[in-house]
Amino acid sequence: MLKNLCKAIDAIDIQLSLDPNDSGLNSEDYSELNKYCHFLNNGNGQKCKNYEEIIISTFITFLVSFISSNGEEYLDRDKLAEYAILWLCYQLNKKTDNTIDNLNKLYNIYIKGNEVNIKEISGAEAYNSCNDIINNKIKSENIDVKEMSEIYGAFEKLCKLHTECDEKNNNYTSCSKDAQDFVSEFQKLNDNRSITENDSYSQILSTLFNDYNNFKDDFSKNCSQCSDIATFPDIILPQSSGFTSPSSSIEKTLIPVLLAFAIPLFFGIAYKYSLFGFDKRLHRQYLRERIKKIKKKMSHYI
């Protein structure tokens, strides 16, 4: 459930209240988040050397915790990976002189060579799942940290909807505004061609789009006292958008198939009628009119 993920991120952010530009950062102040760091601290657990290592160790802790839970209320792993990577990029981009501009570089500097330590601490099953995410989403893709961190703003606003606009909390009166804020942020991203033309980024936009619509549906069903659900705006997707809703996808697939079936059918009828001596010219005109009508009707569904 997305609400649980959002609450977990809020809790981590509170615990991780550190200055990314502090050169004298003492990672021992964040001992619970140090377990996946590279270096031993005099034989007493792991120790991170810098801000980046603390963030990456926290990221792996975050992944392993959710993967190990295996409850029905948690997200599927692809969605977990997408949102966790959004958080990771956002945190890395906070540092003014950030030298990690893409996640492939991050893997080579901070994760590669640390797999044995991760496996020992998390266990084989959690490690394998975590490693799949790291290999498929980080190692194999050249994801730009700065661009990915821009998408995090929309995710934050979606999380606010899930954590604040609770069907059990009728005292919160800003749900409609929060929804409008999310949609506004989403539309900005969807107008950015550097994001929509990238497969990794557009996939995350698609996930955000679906999660927002699912939230609207669930909220309207479960919160009978919430009068402002009708003011939640819809997301308008341009025709050039990199993704579509499931219904429009079906329509775009089905209608051409119907056209491909209907047109040869009428030509077959034409041939049949010609065998019985109908006036060919009148009949061709009749068929053309029929085909135009079919196309016109079908065009309404495309």
What does the pLDDT read at residue 170? Answer: 62
What does the pLDDT read at residue 224? Answer: 60
DSSP string, the chain: -HHHHHHHHHHHHHHT---TT-TT--GGGGGGG-TT-SEESTTSSEE--SHHHHHHHHHHHHHHHHHHH--TTSPPHHHHHHHHHHHHHHHHHTSTT----BHHHHIIIIITT-HHHHHHHH-HHHHHHHHHHIIIIIISS--BHHHHHHHHHHHHHHHHHHHHS-TT-TT---HHHHHHHHHHHHHHHHT-HHHHTSHHHHHHHHHHHHHHHHHHHHHHHH-TT-GGGGGPPPPPPPTT-S---HHHHHHHHHHHHHHHHHHHHHHHHHHHHHHTT--HHHHHHHHHHHHHHHHHHHHTT-
CA distance 131 to 135: 6
CA distance 52 to 134: 16
Which positions of the chain have pLDDT values less than 70?
A: 26-27, 39-46, 68-75, 116-129, 139-141, 166-171, 223-231, 237-302
CA distance 16 to 91: 10
pLDDT per residue as tens digits for the range 145-179: 998 999 999 999 999 988 888 655 666 778 888 88
Cβ-in-10-Å burial (0-12, 13-18, 19+) of 122 comes to: buried
pLDDT per residue as tens digits for the range 235-264: 776 554 445 443 343 343 333 433 343 444
CA distance 160 to 24: 33
pTM for this structure?
Answer: 0.72
CA distance 70 to 161: 24
Give me 43's structure tokens: 């034989």
